[in-house]
Protein backbone atom coordinates (compact mmCIF):
# COMPACT_ATOMS: atom_id res chain seq x y z
CA UNK A 1 0.00 0.00 0.00
CA UNK A 2 1.29 3.42 -0.94
CA UNK A 3 2.26 5.46 2.06
CA UNK A 4 0.24 8.64 2.42
CA UNK A 5 2.23 11.68 1.30
CA UNK A 6 3.30 14.04 4.02
CA UNK A 7 1.88 17.52 3.39
CA UNK A 8 5.29 19.11 2.70
CA UNK A 9 6.12 16.37 0.15
CA UNK A 10 2.70 16.72 -1.46
CA UNK A 11 3.23 20.43 -1.95
CA UNK A 12 6.51 19.78 -3.76
CA UNK A 13 5.02 17.03 -5.90
CA UNK A 14 3.99 18.19 -9.36
CA UNK A 15 0.52 17.26 -10.62
CA UNK A 16 0.53 14.34 -13.03
CA UNK A 17 0.74 16.18 -16.33
CA UNK A 18 2.54 15.50 -19.58
CA UNK A 19 3.27 17.97 -22.41
CA UNK A 20 1.89 21.51 -22.37
CA UNK A 21 -1.61 21.99 -23.78
CA UNK A 22 -1.66 22.53 -27.57
CA UNK A 23 -4.87 24.51 -27.25
CA UNK A 24 -5.30 28.23 -26.53
CA UNK A 25 -5.32 29.26 -22.84
CA UNK A 26 -8.45 28.03 -21.07
CA UNK A 27 -9.51 25.48 -23.66
CA UNK A 28 -7.48 22.65 -22.18
CA UNK A 29 -6.40 19.26 -23.42
CA UNK A 30 -8.73 16.90 -25.21
CA UNK A 31 -11.02 15.49 -22.54
CA UNK A 32 -11.08 11.75 -22.07
CA UNK A 33 -14.42 10.02 -21.86
CA UNK A 34 -15.64 6.48 -21.33
CA UNK A 35 -13.98 6.04 -17.93
CA UNK A 36 -16.08 3.15 -16.67
CA UNK A 37 -13.04 0.97 -16.02
CA UNK A 38 -11.13 3.89 -14.48
CA UNK A 39 -14.05 4.89 -12.28
CA UNK A 40 -14.17 1.38 -10.83
CA UNK A 41 -10.45 1.47 -10.14
CA UNK A 42 -10.79 4.95 -8.64
CA UNK A 43 -13.55 3.85 -6.27
CA UNK A 44 -11.45 0.90 -5.10
CA UNK A 45 -8.40 3.11 -4.62
CA UNK A 46 -10.41 5.69 -2.74
CA UNK A 47 -11.88 3.06 -0.46
CA UNK A 48 -8.41 1.75 0.33
CA UNK A 49 -7.17 5.26 1.07
CA UNK A 50 -10.22 6.03 3.19
CA UNK A 51 -9.55 3.02 5.35
CA UNK A 52 -5.81 3.53 5.66
CA UNK A 53 -5.01 7.23 5.32
CA UNK A 54 -4.11 9.18 8.40
CA UNK A 55 -5.91 12.48 9.07
CA UNK A 56 -4.33 15.46 7.33
CA UNK A 57 -2.32 18.06 9.21
CA UNK A 58 -4.51 20.33 11.33
CA UNK A 59 -2.40 23.47 10.87
CA UNK A 60 0.12 23.50 8.01
CA UNK A 61 3.25 25.40 8.89
CA UNK A 62 3.03 27.48 5.72
CA UNK A 63 -0.62 28.54 6.36
CA UNK A 64 -1.60 27.89 2.77
CA UNK A 65 -4.37 26.16 0.88
CA UNK A 66 -4.22 24.03 -2.28
CA UNK A 67 -7.39 24.11 -4.42
CA UNK A 68 -7.81 21.53 -7.19
CA UNK A 69 -9.05 22.66 -10.61
CA UNK A 70 -10.03 20.44 -13.54
CA UNK A 71 -8.57 22.83 -16.12
CA UNK A 72 -6.80 26.14 -16.45
CA UNK A 73 -9.15 29.15 -16.69
CA UNK A 74 -9.06 31.46 -19.73
CA UNK A 75 -8.54 34.45 -17.44
CA UNK A 76 -9.15 35.75 -13.94
CA UNK A 77 -11.35 38.77 -14.70
CA UNK A 78 -15.03 38.03 -13.97
CA UNK A 79 -16.09 41.24 -15.75
CA UNK A 80 -15.43 39.64 -19.12
CA UNK A 81 -15.99 35.91 -18.52
CA UNK A 82 -18.41 33.85 -16.45
CA UNK A 83 -17.91 30.36 -15.09
CA UNK A 84 -16.74 28.83 -11.83
CA UNK A 85 -13.06 28.63 -12.81
CA UNK A 86 -12.72 32.33 -13.58
CA UNK A 87 -14.98 33.43 -10.73
CA UNK A 88 -13.39 31.46 -7.89
CA UNK A 89 -9.98 32.96 -8.68
CA UNK A 90 -11.38 36.39 -9.56
CA UNK A 91 -13.25 36.58 -6.25
CA UNK A 92 -9.91 36.33 -4.44
CA UNK A 93 -8.01 38.77 -6.67
CA UNK A 94 -10.72 41.43 -6.92
CA UNK A 95 -13.08 43.11 -4.48
CA UNK A 96 -16.66 44.07 -5.22
CA UNK A 97 -18.73 46.90 -3.85
CA UNK A 98 -20.62 44.33 -1.78
CA UNK A 99 -20.42 40.70 -0.83
CA UNK A 100 -23.27 38.29 -0.18
CA UNK A 101 -24.35 37.59 3.38
CA UNK A 102 -26.94 35.11 4.51
CA UNK A 103 -29.67 37.76 4.25
CA UNK A 104 -28.46 39.63 1.18
CA UNK A 105 -25.74 42.15 0.24
CA UNK A 106 -23.42 43.34 3.00
CA UNK A 107 -20.61 45.95 2.89
CA UNK A 108 -17.31 45.11 1.26
CA UNK A 109 -15.38 47.80 -0.64
CA UNK A 110 -18.43 50.02 -0.15
CA UNK A 111 -18.79 50.55 3.58
CA UNK A 112 -22.31 51.98 3.18
CA UNK A 113 -24.86 53.09 0.58
CA UNK A 114 -28.20 54.82 0.15
CA UNK A 115 -30.99 53.89 -2.26
CA UNK A 116 -33.92 56.16 -3.10
CA UNK A 117 -37.53 55.04 -2.65
CA UNK A 118 -37.86 54.25 -6.37
CA UNK A 119 -34.77 52.01 -6.42
CA UNK A 120 -33.39 54.11 -9.27
CA UNK A 121 -30.70 56.19 -7.53
CA UNK A 122 -27.85 54.65 -5.59
CA UNK A 123 -25.03 56.35 -3.70
CA UNK A 124 -22.02 54.31 -2.56
CA UNK A 125 -19.44 55.35 0.05
CA UNK A 126 -16.08 53.60 -0.40
CA UNK A 127 -13.68 52.62 2.36
CA UNK A 128 -10.77 54.93 3.02
CA UNK A 129 -7.28 53.67 2.37
CA UNK A 130 -8.19 50.83 -0.03
CA UNK A 131 -5.52 50.18 -2.66
CA UNK A 132 -4.90 48.00 -5.68
CA UNK A 133 -2.13 45.44 -5.46
CA UNK A 134 0.36 47.88 -7.03
CA UNK A 135 -0.34 50.37 -4.21
CA UNK A 136 -2.51 52.73 -6.28
CA UNK A 137 -5.51 54.08 -4.29
CA UNK A 138 -8.93 52.71 -5.27
CA UNK A 139 -11.26 55.59 -6.12
CA UNK A 140 -14.82 56.08 -7.26
CA UNK A 141 -13.45 56.56 -10.77
CA UNK A 142 -12.16 52.97 -10.73
CA UNK A 143 -15.55 51.70 -9.58
CA UNK A 144 -17.35 53.67 -12.31
CA UNK A 145 -14.91 52.31 -14.90
CA UNK A 146 -15.50 48.77 -13.62
CA UNK A 147 -19.29 48.95 -13.74
CA UNK A 148 -19.17 50.29 -17.30
CA UNK A 149 -16.71 47.55 -18.28
CA UNK A 150 -18.96 44.82 -16.88
CA UNK A 151 -22.00 46.42 -18.52
CA UNK A 152 -20.31 46.21 -21.93
CA UNK A 153 -18.43 42.92 -21.61
CA UNK A 154 -19.97 40.62 -19.01
CA UNK A 155 -21.79 37.65 -20.59
CA UNK A 156 -24.89 38.44 -18.52
CA UNK A 157 -25.72 41.56 -20.56
CA UNK A 158 -29.23 41.93 -19.16
CA UNK A 159 -27.90 42.13 -15.59
CA UNK A 160 -26.74 45.77 -15.91
CA UNK A 161 -28.82 46.80 -18.89
CA UNK A 162 -30.82 49.40 -16.93
CA UNK A 163 -27.74 51.22 -15.57
CA UNK A 164 -27.90 54.70 -17.10
CA UNK A 165 -25.43 56.95 -15.28
CA UNK A 166 -22.37 56.17 -13.16
CA UNK A 167 -20.85 59.37 -11.78
CA UNK A 168 -17.99 59.79 -9.27
CA UNK A 169 -18.91 62.55 -6.80
CA UNK A 170 -15.46 62.56 -5.18
CA UNK A 171 -12.71 59.98 -4.66
CA UNK A 172 -14.78 57.96 -2.19
CA UNK A 173 -18.36 58.62 -3.32
CA UNK A 174 -20.17 57.24 -6.37
CA UNK A 175 -23.65 57.97 -7.70
CA UNK A 176 -25.46 55.51 -9.96
CA UNK A 177 -28.81 55.94 -11.72
CA UNK A 178 -30.94 53.44 -13.60
CA UNK A 179 -33.53 53.98 -16.32
CA UNK A 180 -36.10 51.87 -14.49
CA UNK A 181 -36.32 50.70 -10.85
CA UNK A 182 -33.80 47.96 -10.05
CA UNK A 183 -34.48 46.59 -6.56
CA UNK A 184 -32.06 43.66 -7.07
CA UNK A 185 -29.17 45.71 -8.49
CA UNK A 186 -27.04 45.55 -5.34
CA UNK A 187 -26.85 41.78 -5.70
CA UNK A 188 -24.88 42.22 -8.94
CA UNK A 189 -21.95 44.04 -7.37
CA UNK A 190 -20.17 41.03 -5.88
CA UNK A 191 -16.58 40.22 -6.96
CA UNK A 192 -17.62 37.15 -8.96
CA UNK A 193 -19.84 39.30 -11.21
CA UNK A 194 -18.68 42.94 -11.17
CA UNK A 195 -15.09 43.10 -9.87
CA UNK A 196 -13.42 46.43 -9.12
CA UNK A 197 -10.72 46.87 -11.78
CA UNK A 198 -7.80 49.32 -11.91
CA UNK A 199 -8.73 52.00 -14.45
CA UNK A 200 -5.09 53.08 -14.73
CA UNK A 201 -4.23 49.64 -16.15
CA UNK A 202 -7.34 48.65 -18.11
CA UNK A 203 -7.85 52.15 -19.48
CA UNK A 204 -4.75 52.04 -21.70
CA UNK A 205 -6.71 51.52 -24.92
CA UNK A 206 -6.22 47.75 -25.14
CA UNK A 207 -9.58 45.94 -25.60
CA UNK A 208 -10.59 44.78 -22.16
CA UNK A 209 -11.72 41.33 -23.23
CA UNK A 210 -8.22 40.54 -24.54
CA UNK A 211 -6.23 42.66 -22.08
CA UNK A 212 -3.10 40.94 -20.71
CA UNK A 213 -4.14 42.04 -17.21
CA UNK A 214 -6.94 39.47 -17.37
CA UNK A 215 -4.19 36.94 -16.60
CA UNK A 216 -1.45 39.16 -15.15
CA UNK A 217 -3.93 40.64 -12.74
CA UNK A 218 -3.46 43.70 -10.58
CA UNK A 219 -6.39 43.25 -8.26
CA UNK A 220 -8.28 44.92 -5.43
CA UNK A 221 -9.11 41.88 -3.31
CA UNK A 222 -7.62 39.97 -0.37
CA UNK A 223 -5.03 38.03 -2.40
CA UNK A 224 -2.54 39.17 -5.02
CA UNK A 225 -1.19 37.18 -7.95
CA UNK A 226 2.26 35.83 -7.01
CA UNK A 227 2.91 33.53 -9.98
CA UNK A 228 1.27 31.42 -12.60
CA UNK A 229 2.38 28.58 -14.83
CA UNK A 230 -0.09 28.18 -17.65
CA UNK A 231 -1.74 24.82 -17.64
CA UNK A 232 -0.39 23.93 -14.19
CA UNK A 233 -0.98 26.31 -11.30
CA UNK A 234 -1.87 29.79 -10.10
CA UNK A 235 -0.36 31.00 -6.83
CA UNK A 236 -2.01 33.82 -4.87
CA UNK A 237 -0.44 35.47 -1.83
CA UNK A 238 -1.92 37.47 1.00
CA UNK A 239 -2.13 41.16 0.07
CA UNK A 240 -0.78 42.97 3.12
CA UNK A 241 -2.49 46.22 2.13
CA UNK A 242 -6.01 44.72 1.98
CA UNK A 243 -8.60 47.17 3.26
CA UNK A 244 -10.10 44.84 5.92
CA UNK A 245 -7.80 44.74 8.99
CA UNK A 246 -6.36 41.32 9.81
CA UNK A 247 -7.56 39.78 6.53
CA UNK A 248 -7.01 37.52 4.76
CA UNK A 249 -6.13 34.90 7.32
CA UNK A 250 -4.33 32.57 4.89
CA UNK A 251 -0.90 33.45 3.55
CA UNK A 252 -1.26 31.66 0.23
CA UNK A 253 -3.75 29.88 -2.04
CA UNK A 254 -2.46 27.66 -4.83
CA UNK A 255 -4.90 26.63 -7.56
CA UNK A 256 -3.47 23.42 -9.03
CA UNK A 257 -4.71 21.98 -12.32
CA UNK A 258 -5.40 18.26 -12.73
CA UNK A 259 -6.20 17.63 -16.38
CA UNK A 260 -7.84 14.32 -15.58
CA UNK A 261 -10.72 14.87 -13.16
CA UNK A 262 -10.32 11.32 -11.91
CA UNK A 263 -7.03 12.33 -10.29
CA UNK A 264 -8.66 14.95 -8.06
CA UNK A 265 -10.35 12.60 -5.55
CA UNK A 266 -7.08 10.74 -5.11
CA UNK A 267 -5.23 14.02 -4.62
CA UNK A 268 -7.69 15.03 -1.90
CA UNK A 269 -7.40 11.68 -0.16
CA UNK A 270 -3.59 11.72 -0.30
CA UNK A 271 -3.32 15.29 0.96
CA UNK A 272 -1.91 16.69 -2.30
CA UNK A 273 -4.89 19.06 -2.46
CA UNK A 274 -7.03 20.48 0.32
CA UNK A 275 -10.21 21.47 -1.48
CA UNK A 276 -12.18 20.80 -4.66
CA UNK A 277 -15.35 22.76 -5.40
CA UNK A 278 -18.19 22.05 -7.82
CA UNK A 279 -17.66 18.33 -7.62
CA UNK A 280 -20.35 16.09 -9.05
CA UNK A 281 -18.45 12.91 -8.15
CA UNK A 282 -21.44 11.46 -6.34
CA UNK A 283 -20.25 7.87 -6.83
CA UNK A 284 -17.21 8.62 -4.67
CA UNK A 285 -19.04 10.78 -2.12
CA UNK A 286 -19.93 7.90 0.18
CA UNK A 287 -16.24 6.99 0.34
CA UNK A 288 -15.23 10.56 1.12
CA UNK A 289 -17.80 10.63 3.89
CA UNK A 290 -16.23 7.53 5.41
CA UNK A 291 -12.93 9.34 5.90
CA UNK A 292 -12.89 11.45 9.10
CA UNK A 293 -10.30 13.80 7.58
CA UNK A 294 -12.58 14.79 4.66
CA UNK A 295 -15.81 16.78 4.69
CA UNK A 296 -18.36 17.01 1.86
CA UNK A 297 -20.78 19.97 1.89
CA UNK A 298 -23.45 21.33 -0.45
CA UNK A 299 -25.19 24.10 1.49
CA UNK A 300 -22.81 26.76 0.17
CA UNK A 301 -24.35 26.35 -3.31
CA UNK A 302 -27.95 26.79 -2.13
CA UNK A 303 -28.07 30.38 -3.44
CA UNK A 304 -26.32 29.48 -6.68
CA UNK A 305 -29.10 27.09 -7.82
CA UNK A 306 -27.15 24.95 -10.33
CA UNK A 307 -29.29 23.04 -12.82
CA UNK A 308 -29.12 21.03 -16.03
CA UNK A 309 -31.11 21.56 -19.21
CA UNK A 310 -31.11 20.84 -22.92
CA UNK A 311 -30.81 24.00 -25.00
CA UNK A 312 -32.44 23.79 -28.43
CA UNK A 313 -31.06 25.79 -31.32
CA UNK A 314 -34.37 27.30 -32.45
CA UNK A 315 -32.79 28.32 -35.75
CA UNK A 316 -32.77 24.62 -36.58
CA UNK A 317 -35.98 23.91 -38.56
CA UNK A 318 -36.78 20.93 -36.35
CA UNK A 319 -36.62 22.87 -33.09
CA UNK A 320 -38.21 26.02 -34.42
CA UNK A 321 -41.54 24.30 -33.74
CA UNK A 322 -42.81 24.55 -30.13
CA UNK A 323 -44.81 21.38 -30.78
CA UNK A 324 -41.70 19.33 -31.50
CA UNK A 325 -40.05 20.72 -28.38
CA UNK A 326 -43.21 19.82 -26.44
CA UNK A 327 -43.09 16.24 -27.74
CA UNK A 328 -39.51 15.86 -26.54
CA UNK A 329 -40.46 17.19 -23.11
CA UNK A 330 -43.43 14.80 -22.86
CA UNK A 331 -41.23 11.82 -23.69
CA UNK A 332 -39.03 12.24 -20.61
CA UNK A 333 -40.13 11.31 -17.10
CA UNK A 334 -38.25 13.92 -15.05
CA UNK A 335 -38.99 12.17 -11.76
CA UNK A 336 -37.52 8.92 -13.07
CA UNK A 337 -34.54 10.87 -14.40
CA UNK A 338 -33.93 12.43 -10.99
CA UNK A 339 -34.06 9.00 -9.38
CA UNK A 340 -31.71 7.53 -11.98
CA UNK A 341 -29.04 10.18 -11.44
CA UNK A 342 -27.03 9.70 -8.22
CA UNK A 343 -26.53 12.53 -5.78
CA UNK A 344 -30.03 13.54 -4.69
CA UNK A 345 -31.14 15.74 -7.59
CA UNK A 346 -34.59 17.33 -7.91
CA UNK A 347 -36.63 17.25 -11.14
CA UNK A 348 -37.21 20.50 -13.03
CA UNK A 349 -40.09 21.44 -15.31
CA UNK A 350 -39.53 25.16 -15.82
CA UNK A 351 -36.85 27.85 -16.03
CA UNK A 352 -36.39 28.70 -12.34
CA UNK A 353 -34.98 25.85 -10.24
CA UNK A 354 -36.84 24.48 -7.23
CA UNK A 355 -35.31 25.88 -4.07
CA UNK A 356 -35.26 29.43 -5.40
CA UNK A 357 -37.60 31.83 -3.65
CA UNK A 358 -38.82 32.84 -7.13
CA UNK A 359 -39.73 29.31 -8.21
CA UNK A 360 -43.36 28.52 -8.95
CA UNK A 361 -44.59 25.03 -9.90
CA UNK A 362 -45.09 24.30 -13.59
CA UNK A 363 -45.18 20.88 -15.19
CA UNK A 364 -45.29 18.96 -18.44
CA UNK A 365 -47.04 15.59 -18.22
CA UNK A 366 -45.07 12.50 -19.03
CA UNK A 367 -47.10 11.14 -21.96
CA UNK A 368 -45.08 9.26 -24.61
CA UNK A 369 -48.24 8.31 -26.54
CA UNK A 370 -49.23 11.96 -27.01
CA UNK A 371 -45.62 12.82 -27.81
CA UNK A 372 -45.69 10.29 -30.66
CA UNK A 373 -48.98 11.67 -31.96
CA UNK A 374 -47.55 15.21 -31.93
CA UNK A 375 -44.53 14.10 -33.97
CA UNK A 376 -46.77 12.26 -36.43
CA UNK A 377 -48.83 15.42 -36.94
CA UNK A 378 -45.65 17.50 -37.27
CA UNK A 379 -44.58 15.42 -40.28
CA UNK A 380 -41.90 13.24 -38.69
CA UNK A 381 -43.00 9.62 -39.31
CA UNK A 382 -40.85 6.68 -38.31
CA UNK A 383 -38.72 5.07 -41.00
CA UNK A 384 -38.25 1.34 -41.52
CA UNK A 385 -35.89 1.30 -38.54
CA UNK A 386 -38.33 3.12 -36.30
CA UNK A 387 -36.35 6.39 -36.38
CA UNK A 388 -38.13 9.70 -36.96
CA UNK A 389 -35.06 11.91 -37.20
CA UNK A 390 -31.48 12.11 -35.95
CA UNK A 391 -29.92 15.16 -34.32
CA UNK A 392 -26.55 15.76 -32.71
CA UNK A 393 -26.28 16.74 -29.09
CA UNK A 394 -23.20 18.47 -27.69
CA UNK A 395 -21.97 18.88 -24.15
CA UNK A 396 -19.08 20.60 -22.38
CA UNK A 397 -16.63 17.70 -22.36
CA UNK A 398 -15.26 18.18 -18.85
CA UNK A 399 -18.81 17.99 -17.43
CA UNK A 400 -19.06 14.35 -16.38
CA UNK A 401 -22.43 14.95 -14.74
CA UNK A 402 -23.82 16.04 -18.12
CA UNK A 403 -22.53 12.93 -19.84
CA UNK A 404 -24.22 10.63 -17.35
CA UNK A 405 -27.56 12.36 -17.98
CA UNK A 406 -27.06 12.39 -21.75
CA UNK A 407 -26.68 8.64 -21.91
CA UNK A 408 -29.93 8.24 -20.00
CA UNK A 409 -31.75 10.70 -22.28
CA UNK A 410 -30.37 9.11 -25.41
CA UNK A 411 -31.88 5.75 -24.50
CA UNK A 412 -35.19 7.31 -23.47
CA UNK A 413 -35.66 9.35 -26.65
CA UNK A 414 -34.97 6.42 -28.95
CA UNK A 415 -37.13 4.05 -26.90
CA UNK A 416 -40.18 6.27 -26.38
CA UNK A 417 -40.44 8.41 -29.54
CA UNK A 418 -37.92 7.10 -32.06
CA UNK A 419 -35.68 10.18 -32.03
CA UNK A 420 -31.98 9.46 -32.11
CA UNK A 421 -29.72 11.91 -30.27
CA UNK A 422 -26.18 11.28 -31.45
CA UNK A 423 -23.80 12.39 -28.69
CA UNK A 424 -20.99 14.51 -30.12
CA UNK A 425 -17.93 14.91 -27.90
CA UNK A 426 -15.89 18.03 -28.48
CA UNK A 427 -12.12 17.73 -28.53
CA UNK A 428 -11.83 20.20 -25.65
CA UNK A 429 -14.01 22.77 -23.80
CA UNK A 430 -12.90 25.60 -26.09
CA UNK A 431 -14.07 23.73 -29.19
CA UNK A 432 -17.46 23.12 -27.58
CA UNK A 433 -17.76 26.82 -26.68
CA UNK A 434 -16.90 27.90 -30.22
CA UNK A 435 -19.45 25.50 -31.64
CA UNK A 436 -22.39 26.58 -29.52
CA UNK A 437 -21.69 30.33 -29.61
CA UNK A 438 -21.44 30.22 -33.41
CA UNK A 439 -24.80 28.41 -33.62
CA UNK A 440 -23.27 25.31 -35.25
CA UNK A 441 -25.23 22.87 -33.10
CA UNK A 442 -28.64 21.19 -32.87
CA UNK A 443 -28.96 20.68 -29.13
CA UNK A 444 -26.50 21.19 -26.30
CA UNK A 445 -26.49 20.00 -22.74
CA UNK A 446 -25.83 22.85 -20.32
CA UNK A 447 -25.01 23.12 -16.63
CA UNK A 448 -26.06 26.61 -15.55
CA UNK A 449 -26.43 28.66 -12.37
CA UNK A 450 -29.68 30.39 -11.53
CA UNK A 451 -27.72 32.64 -9.13
CA UNK A 452 -29.37 34.47 -6.26
CA UNK A 453 -31.82 36.47 -8.37
CA UNK A 454 -33.57 35.77 -11.70
CA UNK A 455 -32.46 39.19 -13.00
CA UNK A 456 -28.90 37.85 -12.80
CA UNK A 457 -29.04 34.15 -13.62
CA UNK A 458 -32.30 33.46 -15.46
CA UNK A 459 -33.08 36.48 -17.63
CA UNK A 460 -29.77 36.19 -19.50
CA UNK A 461 -30.77 32.70 -20.74
CA UNK A 462 -33.99 33.79 -22.49
CA UNK A 463 -33.81 37.55 -23.12
CA UNK A 464 -33.29 38.50 -26.76
CA UNK A 465 -29.59 38.71 -27.45
CA UNK A 466 -28.03 38.82 -30.89
CA UNK A 467 -24.44 38.55 -29.64
CA UNK A 468 -22.61 35.23 -29.64
CA UNK A 469 -22.09 34.81 -25.87
CA UNK A 470 -21.51 31.59 -24.00
CA UNK A 471 -24.27 30.71 -21.50
CA UNK A 472 -26.45 33.65 -22.55
CA UNK A 473 -29.40 32.74 -24.78
CA UNK A 474 -27.44 30.29 -26.89
CA UNK A 475 -30.77 28.99 -28.23
CA UNK A 476 -31.35 32.28 -30.14
CA UNK A 477 -34.89 32.38 -28.73
CA UNK A 478 -36.56 35.78 -29.04
CA UNK A 479 -39.97 36.90 -27.85
CA UNK A 480 -40.71 40.62 -27.27
CA UNK A 481 -43.47 39.77 -24.79
CA UNK A 482 -41.09 37.66 -22.72
CA UNK A 483 -38.49 40.45 -22.85
CA UNK A 484 -41.10 42.91 -21.58
CA UNK A 485 -42.09 40.56 -18.75
CA UNK A 486 -38.47 40.23 -17.67
CA UNK A 487 -38.06 44.01 -17.63
CA UNK A 488 -41.23 44.42 -15.59
CA UNK A 489 -40.17 41.74 -13.11
CA UNK A 490 -36.69 43.23 -12.59
CA UNK A 491 -38.28 46.68 -12.03
CA UNK A 492 -40.99 45.56 -9.59
CA UNK A 493 -40.20 46.72 -6.05
CA UNK A 494 -42.96 44.78 -4.28
CA UNK A 495 -41.64 41.24 -3.60
CA UNK A 496 -45.05 39.63 -4.04
CA UNK A 497 -45.69 41.52 -7.25
CA UNK A 498 -42.27 40.54 -8.51
CA UNK A 499 -42.89 36.91 -7.66
CA UNK A 500 -46.18 37.01 -9.59
CA UNK A 501 -44.41 38.35 -12.66
CA UNK A 502 -41.78 35.62 -12.48
CA UNK A 503 -44.57 33.07 -12.10
CA UNK A 504 -46.11 34.38 -15.33
CA UNK A 505 -42.72 34.12 -17.03
CA UNK A 506 -42.27 30.53 -15.90
CA UNK A 507 -45.70 29.61 -17.20
CA UNK A 508 -45.06 31.33 -20.55
CA UNK A 509 -41.61 29.84 -21.13
CA UNK A 510 -42.69 26.35 -20.09
CA UNK A 511 -45.75 26.56 -22.36
CA UNK A 512 -43.44 27.29 -25.28
CA UNK A 513 -40.97 24.61 -24.15
CA UNK A 514 -38.11 26.99 -24.82
CA UNK A 515 -35.72 24.44 -23.29
CA UNK A 516 -35.97 20.97 -21.84
CA UNK A 517 -35.39 21.53 -18.14
CA UNK A 518 -34.10 18.41 -16.45
CA UNK A 519 -32.95 18.57 -12.85
CA UNK A 520 -30.92 20.38 -10.24
CA UNK A 521 -27.22 19.54 -9.94
CA UNK A 522 -25.85 18.29 -6.61
CA UNK A 523 -22.53 20.12 -6.68
CA UNK A 524 -20.43 19.63 -3.57
CA UNK A 525 -17.27 20.98 -2.01
CA UNK A 526 -14.82 18.29 -0.94
CA UNK A 527 -12.26 19.57 1.51
CA UNK A 528 -9.94 18.75 4.33
CA UNK A 529 -12.11 18.95 7.44
CA UNK A 530 -9.66 21.31 9.10
CA UNK A 531 -10.16 24.00 6.46
CA UNK A 532 -12.65 26.43 8.02
CA UNK A 533 -14.95 29.19 6.75
CA UNK A 534 -15.42 27.99 3.18
CA UNK A 535 -18.66 26.04 3.42
CA UNK A 536 -20.29 28.78 5.52
CA UNK A 537 -19.75 31.37 2.76
CA UNK A 538 -22.67 31.95 0.36
CA UNK A 539 -21.41 30.61 -3.00
CA UNK A 540 -18.46 28.89 -1.28
CA UNK A 541 -15.24 29.52 -3.24
CA UNK A 542 -17.04 32.05 -5.46
CA UNK A 543 -16.99 34.34 -2.42
CA UNK A 544 -13.88 36.02 -0.98
CA UNK A 545 -11.91 33.57 1.14
CA UNK A 546 -10.52 36.26 3.42
CA UNK A 547 -11.98 34.43 6.46
CA UNK A 548 -10.76 30.96 5.40
CA UNK A 549 -8.21 29.43 7.76
CA UNK A 550 -6.94 26.19 9.22
CA UNK A 551 -8.28 24.81 12.46
CA UNK A 552 -5.70 25.22 15.17
CA UNK A 553 -4.94 22.49 17.73
Contact (Cβ atoms closer than 8 angstroms) between residue 82 and residue 154? yes
- Length of the chain (residues): 553
pLDDT at residue 8, rounded to an integer: 39
Give the integer Cα–Cα distance in Å for 394 and 429: 11
Q: How many CA atoms lie within 13 A of 271 on its CB side?
A: 22
Q: Are 312 and 319 in contact (CB under 8 A)?
A: yes
pLDDT on residue 361: 94
pLDDT score of 167: 98
CATH architecture assigned to 302-520? Roll (3.10)
Identify whether the C-beta of residue 425 lies closer than 8 Å to the C-beta of residue 122. Answer: no
Identify any residues that bridge with 347 across adjacent strands, giving them in sequence order. 519
Intervals of CATH 3.40.190.10 along the chain: 64-298+524-550
The predicted pLDDT at position 63 comes to: 94
For residue 75, the model assigns a pLDDT of 95
**Quick one: residue 62, left, alpha or beta (phi over 0 = left, psi -120 to 50 = alpha)?**
alpha
Identify the pLDDT of residue 58: 41
Radius of gyration of the chain (CA): 24
Supply the pLDDT for residue 284: 65
End-to-end CA distance of the chain: 29
Over residues 253-312, the pLDDT tens digits come to 999 999 888 888 889 988 999 999 998 766 567 677 778 899 999 889 989 999 999 999
| Rounded-to-integer distance, Cα 519 and Cα 332, Å | 12
For residue 495, give the nearest of 177, 101, 124, 119 by alpha carbon.
119
- Asked if residues 68 and 267 have their Cβ atoms less than 8 Å apart, the reply is yes
Which CATH superfamily hosts domain 64-298+524-550? Periplasmic binding protein-like II (3.40.190.10)
User: What CA–CA distances, in Å, run from 166 to 107, 144, 336?
Assistant: 19, 6, 50
Strands 389-395 and 443-449: parallel
400-427 in b/e form (b: 16+ CB < 10 A) is bbbbbbbebbbebbbebbbbbbeebbbe
Residue ranges in the chain modelled with pLDDT below 50 = 1-41, 44, 47, 50-51, 54-59
Q: Considering the entire predicted model, what is its pTM?
A: 0.89
Distance CA 195, CA 553 (A): 36
pLDDT at site 466: 66
Domain span(s) for CATH 3.10.105.10 in the chain = 302-520
Nearest of 139, 64, 162 to residue 489 by alpha carbon: 162
Whole-number Å distance between alpha carbons of 426 and 122: 45
Amino acid sequence: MTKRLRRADARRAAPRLSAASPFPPGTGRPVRTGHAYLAAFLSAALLLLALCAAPASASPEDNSLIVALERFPPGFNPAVASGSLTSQIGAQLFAGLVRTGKDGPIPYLAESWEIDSQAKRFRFHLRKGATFHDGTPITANDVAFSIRAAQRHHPFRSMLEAVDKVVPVDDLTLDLETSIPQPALLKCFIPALVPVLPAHIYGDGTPIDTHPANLRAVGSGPFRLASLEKGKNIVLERYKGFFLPGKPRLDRITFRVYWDQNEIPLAIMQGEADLYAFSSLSDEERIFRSNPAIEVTRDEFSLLHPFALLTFNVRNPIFRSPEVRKALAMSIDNKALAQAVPGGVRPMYGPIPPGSEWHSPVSTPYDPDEANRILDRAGYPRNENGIRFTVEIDYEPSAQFSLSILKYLQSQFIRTIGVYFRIRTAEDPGSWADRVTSGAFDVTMDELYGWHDPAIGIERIYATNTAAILWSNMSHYSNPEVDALFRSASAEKDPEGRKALYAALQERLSREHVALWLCTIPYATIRNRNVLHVADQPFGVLSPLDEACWKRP
